[in-house]
Amino acid sequence: MVAVIDAGPALEPHISALANAVRDAQHVRVIVTHGHGDHAPGARVLAARLGTELYGPAGVEGVTRPLADGDVVATDEGDLVVVETPGHARHHIGLHWPARRAFFAADLVLGKGDTVWVGEYAGSVADYLDSIERVRRLDVDVVYPAHGPPLENPREALSRFEAHRRDRIHQMQAMLAERPGSSAEQLLETIYGGTLPESARKAALRSVEALKAHVEGRRE
C-alpha cells in the first residue's frame, strides 16, 4: 500500500515518472492536501491514470474519497492520520505519520523562511494560527513541508511561522489605530509603497484583506 501526496502540476514527464515509481505497488492511494495549482492538478491526472480514487478534503475539485479530521489512510510504512489545517486554504489537510513521529504539512509551513500566503478567505488568519497550534500539540520529531527541506526542529519552526503572522497582526492593528477607516487598498500602499511588483499585487491585497478582517473581528 503506497501513498502519493500532492502529485503537483499536471506535467506529462512528471506524472509519467510518478506512475512508473509506483507501478509495482498492489494498491496506491493518491492524496491531495488542498486545491492550489501547484498541488492538485497532477493528483487528479495521476489518480485517473492509475484508475484509483483521489483522496483529499471535501470541496477540492476532483476528490472522490473525502478525508476529514481523524480519518486514517493505511500504507505499508504505517498509518497516515488526517489533520485538518485550514488557513493557507479553506480546505487544507496535513497527514500525521505516528510510526515515524512525522507530519506532512503541505503548505502550512515551508522548509525555509517564516511565512506562507494566508489570504484566501476572511477567517483564514485565525484558522491558520489554530492550525499551527494543532500541529504543535502532535509533538512530532520532523515536519515535511510541500516546499523545501524537512524541518527537524518542528517546535522552533512552528513558533517562527506563528510569530511572523502575529507580527503582521500587530502591524495591522497599529495601522488601523492610526488610520481608522482605511481601505485594504490604502493599507496595501502604506505597507509596500511602490515596491510591490504588479504580478504580486493581487495576492498581497488578499493577504491584507484577511489581516484587516481578522483585526476587525470579521469572519465569513
The beta strand positions in 35-132, using DSSP E, are 54-56, 65-66, 72-73, 80-84, 93-97, 102-106
Mapped onto helix, strand or coil, the DSSP state of residue 113 is coil
Measured between alpha carbons, how far is 4 from 7 in angstroms, rounded to an integer?
7
Residue-level pLDDT at 85: 98
Measured between alpha carbons, how far is 35 from 60 in angstroms, rounded to an integer?
5
DSSP-derived secondary structure letter, 61: T
Q: Would you say residue 106 lies in a domain?
A: yes
Instruction: Please give the residue range of the domain that contains residue 78.
Output: 2-153
Tell me the β-bridge partners of 5.
31
Q: What is the CATH number of the domain that holds 99?
A: 3.60.15.10
Give 149-211 as a DSSP string. S-BS-HHHHHHHHHHHHHHHHHHHHHHHHHSTT--HHHHHHHHHTT-S-HHHHHHHHHHHHHH
How far, CA to CA in Å, does 191 sit from each of 87, 171, 195?
A: 22, 9, 9
Whether 50 and 28 have beta carbons less than 8 Å apart is answered as yes
Residue 159 grid cell: 513558533
- Tell which residue, 197, 176, 195, has the closest CA to residue 186: 176
What confidence tens digit (pLDDT) does each residue in 180-207 have?
Answer: 999 999 999 988 887 888 999 999 999 9
How far, CA to CA in Å, does 141 sit from each of 74, 144, 162, 192?
A: 21, 10, 18, 37
Measured between alpha carbons, how far is 156 from 159 in angstroms, rounded to an integer?
5
Q: Would you say residue 179 lies in a domain?
A: no
What confidence tens digit (pLDDT) does each residue in 138-150 have?
Answer: 989 999 999 999 9
Q: Would you say residue 217 lies in a domain?
A: no
Residue-level pLDDT at 66: 98
pTM of this structure: 0.94
Residue-level pLDDT at 219: 55
Residue-level pLDDT at 191: 87
The total of structural domains in the chain comes to 1
Residue ranges for the chain with pLDDT beneath 50: none
Residue-level pLDDT at 193: 81
